[in-house]
Structure 1
Amino acid sequence: MKGKGVASEWLQAPSVSSTGLQPNTPLQIKSQFNSDDGISALVSWPSITPLPTVPPSTAATASTFRPASVGTTSPLTGIKLIPSLTSCHFQVFIENGTTFNTDTFEKDESEGFLLHNLAFSSEYKIKLRTFVPGDSNLFESITTWPLETQYQSISCSQVHGKGSLECDPEPVENLSIQINTESATALIEWKPAVDSSKVLLYQLVYYPISSTSTIKANDKCSMEQISQYLSASTTKSTVKLPTKSECKFEVKLITYDLIGREAVATKTFIFSPPVLDEIQANLAGFWIFIAPAALLILLCLIIQCARCCEKKRSEKVAAMSKFSYPENV
């Protein structure tokens, strides 16, 4: 039954399908802001031609007996509706995440109705339908909402401007990472969300969060969290990466506004060092320890050889000194 019309004495909300209007299109919403209503939205809809259902002379008031011959059948529920002698009545349903609210109002000559004290940058679902007052049972039995739309409220920066201290700080945009495998480095770049004059400083933090290897993952990707503080005019930084194993890293770029509030942008990446296999990686680690030891042993051998040579030379000189030659007469 969705899309059917609802009739009252002075207005008929037409069937959506019969007028060519599709769901989510008839409702028009205009965002605005002022000190009294805060973030608000003016909800309006195209003019609808009034269509009396019963001549005024035969209409019954709420306090009189309602004969079965008076009124019209609701296209939504099949229940006979008694026309109202008042203006057009509407019920509005507003939902934002897990909270919702319903309200009723009587349409006058104004443009529509105003939703006020909304939250910045929030998604709202708005539904609208007409009803005939005076019959609570009928009112509760109608569950169809012919008009429905989604609405995104305006952001704080649209009201106060980007970087305003009236708004929450904004994280950087377009955070990207370019990896240089040969040098085992990563170039981290970003686009500032606000002018540098409205940023106190940046903090760049990166650390491994997992290893792609199942053997000694903690050892291979072990690395302390590294943090850098960068000036407000900085838009890129190069960082060094460990080369023991393929690891997954997380990068956090924290923006501090002029009063020290934080806004965080994050990104993850996987770095594969230029190591062909695990054997080569183990050999590389082995030579880090064996090379100094080998050098020390070689030095000891050289010293020992020098001592031996010196000892033999001393013995030879001593032996020659004992040999005597005949004196010339």
Structure 2
Amino acid sequence: MPLSQDPSLPGHWTDEEPLECVSILPEMRDVATICFQAPSGRAFRFLAGQFVTLELPVPGGPLYRTYTISSSPSRPLSLTVTIKAQPDSIGTRWILDNLRPGMRVKALGPAGRFTSAQHPARKYLFISAGSGITPMMAMTTLIYDQGRPSDIVFVNCARRPSEIIFRERLEHMASRIEGIDLKWVVEEPDRFQPWTGYMGRFNQLMLGLMAPDYLEREVFCCGPDPFMTAVREALAGLGFDMDHYHQESFQAPQVPGEVAPGPDLPEDPQPEADLMAEVAFDITGTTATVPQTQTVLAAARGAGVAIPSGCTFGVCGTCKVLKTAGEVHMVHNGGITEDEIEEGYILACCSNPMGKVVIDA
């Protein structure tokens, strides 16, 4: 009987034992899935969505890099990480260029709180970009392996269709059971390959089309920081209960010379219903006192000030007005340019006043 299947082995793998690389599966350019096993044959115990920190023997001393586990705890005899090398990568580049089957590396963990196990729900909304798909893959695979009825809206954003990691495996799972609803968003199509899915940057309009019942879902988000900020602001702007929003934040074990990571969510002031704001309309001489959660457009209508509007979703730009003083929290969907924002313009339909604001209207 192979050692990895020996039921007499006591306990589970711990990070006192190194990981042995057993295979490397290229996913696409600069992306690969590394499969590890315990040299002792012990099984792995972790929560779907957690990560491990690898100690990499790069020239100049060990380098510590944290990677989300892309495999599911329902398949405990191996542990995989799916890695993507960026142009400035050091550790990931070393793995892709140097790691080979049979080599062993030290690991710390598993660790992390970004897991559906701590937030059980009837409905999930997984939103990711690029390699941020890895924890979503682990959580979806676990739900798939459990064989119970599921309700997952799975959104992944990539530059091109050919750069969607795990696309074939996810589509296979979605074809075998009900309840896995895949939504791909790309910035541009592949050459000579028709694309009939979503195109552009993820926004509130797409969210409403992909998951009309998003208010009822537990949301998990992972990707580059600007992407997660945009998703968080889009949800907050639509009145989503942010207690049900979770985003990836590595809480890695402390390693030599490393600074402890910060909290789960960065500071990002949001409009609050119990805080009042004052909106002054310069031309008409009218002032409205409203909760921060009310938009400038709603405040104008309540004060009898006419501001033209169209979609009320931050797309058409009809309600563009000049803000001459104060701050607003604005979540738009392309109806205003960065240059216009720098000049002081806002979209009244999707801007919440934060304190006293003066509008040229």
Task: Using structure 2 for the length normalisation, give the TM-score.
Answer: 0.20
Q: TM-score, normalised to structure 1's length?
A: 0.22
Q: Whose Rg is larger?
A: 1
Higher share in strand: 1
